[in-house]
Structure formats: C-alpha cells, structure tokens
Homo-oligomer: A and B are copies of this chain.
Amino acid sequence: MEKTQIAALGEFGLIEHLTKQLTLRQPSSQKGVGDDAAVINPAKLGKDARLLMTTDLLLEGIHFNLEYVPLKHLGYKAAVVNFSDIYAMNGTPTQITVSLGLSARFALEDVEELYAGIRLACERYGVDLVGGDTSASMTGLTISITCIGMAADKDIVYRNGAKNNDLICVSGNLGTAYMGLQLLERERLAYNGTSVNGSTIDAFEGREYLLERQLKPEARRDIVEQLRKAGIKPTAMMDVSDGLSSEIMHICHQSKCGCAIYEDKLPIDYQAAVLAEEMNLNIVTCALNGGEDYELLFTCDIKDYEKLVPLDDVYIIGHITQPEYGTLLIGRNGEELSLQAQGWQAFKQE
C-alpha cells in the first residue's frame, strides 16, 4: 500500500489529523490542542498542589535507531521516560506536549504509528496530550516531549534529602535495558553482514524480556503507589536513566553525603546475566553503568526498614554514609571500589 506524503496534508492538516481523536481525562485539563497555548486549572489539583515540569529531547541517531526500534514503541517510550521523571519526584503525570521534527522520508502512516504509541502511553498512565508543535526536519526524526505533573507540596521528594544511615533502595532490576540494546545491536550488525560472535537465527527467542526493557520500558508508578500505601516517604529519589553509578552520585552530591552500595545486593535479571556472559560483558558493570532502566532509586530513613521489606520488587542495595567515605561499591569479598559515573555520555570525546 502506498504511503501518504505529509506534504499532501500540510502542517495544520497533519496536526488536525493526529489530534482529532484526543480526549481530555484529567480534570485539570481545561483546554487542549487548538489554541496558542493549553490551559491547565491548578485549582482542580487541590490547594496544596504543586506542578512538576520535565522535558526530554530524543534525536534519531543519538537516542534511537529506527533500524530496529518500531515507531509505536518509540512513541510509547518517549512519553514514558517523561512520566518516569514525574514519578521520581513522587508526583503524578497529568499533561504532555509533543513536538515532532519529521524529515521527508516519514509518511503520514509513520507518524500515526508514533502517535499511537504516545497515545497508548497516555491512556495507560492517565495523561492528557494537550499541545505540541510539528515541523519538517532536514534530517531524521526529532521528538521533544514536555510533561506536567502534580504532587502535594509535602509529598515531593527531591534529590537532596538523603541523610547518613539512610537505606538505599532500587526497584526492578538494573542493566537489563542495556543488555537488550546489546542484543539488538548484535543482531543489527549480523543482519547487515558484519560477522559477530554469537549471533544466531533465533537470537531473540526467550529473550523477549530484554527487548521489552529496551524498547518498551514502563515508568514505576506502582512503586510510588506502594510507597504511599506503606506510609513511606523517601528522603531522596530519582529515576535511573543514566545508570545507577551516575544517579547515586547525583544524590550523594546534592545531599552532601557518601554511600556504600553492595555488589551482591544489586538486582540483576537472569536473562541479562546469561547474555552478558555470552557476550563477554561484566554484568555488574552493565548494572552500574548501563542506561535506560527507568527504575526508581531512593533513600529511606532506617526506621522505615520494616515497612520496606514487604514491598514488591524493591531491593535494599546499600546505605548512605558520611561524605568523607566517598561513594563506594563494596565487592563480594568486602573490597571497596570508588563508583565511577560513566553513565550515558551524550557528548563522547571522539
């Protein structure tokens, strides 16, 4: 079937086409797409409410490779990574705006796929798409999403509240999204004829979870809800997008403290460990420095220990120390290593 050129619709036609099915679910969304600006009614959020605002820019060739990332998944992920930032403040995402830059190789059907993913994420998380901008692009796809969320002032968790002896916790597992990316990259190279050790026809079989973690991550709303129900307010929190090492160092820097993370406490997925072995990668390094986990990293007062233990999918991986101890990884034999923030280096030295 022939695809529809975007030029045939024009910018306004495209926006109308993409946004005609949008419904507003949030009581605070007073006016969505279609004017100079969206209108949000903060009074609907309660009198102690604060608005949270975060933004993410995703560029083709830097943040994603369309050779193996389906557009619907990409749209879903682009929205979810913003929601994750709002949950990391202990808030609830409520509205997003979506800006797209589209080069001539994208047809209407492609943009519909991308939007279908964004809409699905919005539905699942109860978020309204209230505006955006759409433009031609000289090269490739650009996605810029800004997310508004809400939280009562007393509930907001910043990065700077960790105190000595606080427990350090993380949700889910670490390094799995990174291993999913390694798997996709290996198969891409194999497919393109570059010989890569270990590539096989059925490379993805039984490894769907790794792919899902990379291609279609979820934001940990469930963890924020569990914490609330358990009556736990973390002392500091952020989401793990650039790797655990980098993130815990942010918390320690902003909270003016040190930390001890225990290697044997790091939650690691079995499939990820098997693939790392197969690819000759150190899974602990992947867990510490692989990006895009979108798990929540948080610190809690030690008095919350009893409440923390029963929580589902939450792992205590270490504790906060005095700043002079530095940021340490304690190895399996008790050896102390300084954490390195390799993380996601968007500006690699060439």
Contacts and interface: CB of A to CB of B under 8 A. Distances in A.
Contacts of A341: 12
A74 interface: no
A239 interface: yes
A195 to B, nearest CB: 26
Given A35-B89, A51-B51, A136 B347 contact: yes
A94 B57 CA distance: 22
A120 interface: no
Contacts of A30: 50
A149 B148 CA distance: 13
A1 B193 CA distance: 45
Interface in A231-274: 237-239, 254
Nearest to A53: B38
Interface in A2-16: 5-12, 14
A327 to B, nearest CB: 15
A117 interface: no
Interface stretch (A152-160, A163-171, A309-317, A330-338): A152-160
Contact of A37 (B36, B86, B136): B86
B144 A55 contact: yes
A86 B36 contact: yes
A138 B59 contact: yes
Nearest to A249: B12
Contacts of A199: none
B36 A54 contact: yes
A27 to B, nearest CB: 13
A7 B54 contact: no
A201 interface: no
Given A39-B50, A153-B41, A6 B347 contact: yes
A349 to B, nearest CB: 4
Given A36-B89, A50-B30, A159-B36, A347 B55 contact: no
Contacts of A86: 36-37
Interface stretch (A95-103, A179-187, A207-215, A318-326): A95-103
Interface in A56-95: 56-57, 59-63, 85-86, 88-89, 91, 95
A130 B55 CA distance: 11
A53 B35 contact: no
Interface of A: 5-12, 14, 30-31, 34-43, 45, 47-57, 59-63, 85-86, 88-89, 91, 95, 97, 99-102, 104, 130-140, 142, 144, 146-149, 153, 156, 158-160, 237-239, 254, 341, 344-350
Give me the 7 closest cross-chain CB pairs, A-B, nearest first: A42-B42, A144-B144, A61-B138, A57-B99, A37-B54, A146-B146, A37-B52
Given A53-B95, A57-B134, A59-B137, 9 more contacts: A11-B345, A36-B237, A36-B239, A39-B51, A43-B49, A59-B101, A60-B138, A104-B350, A139-B140
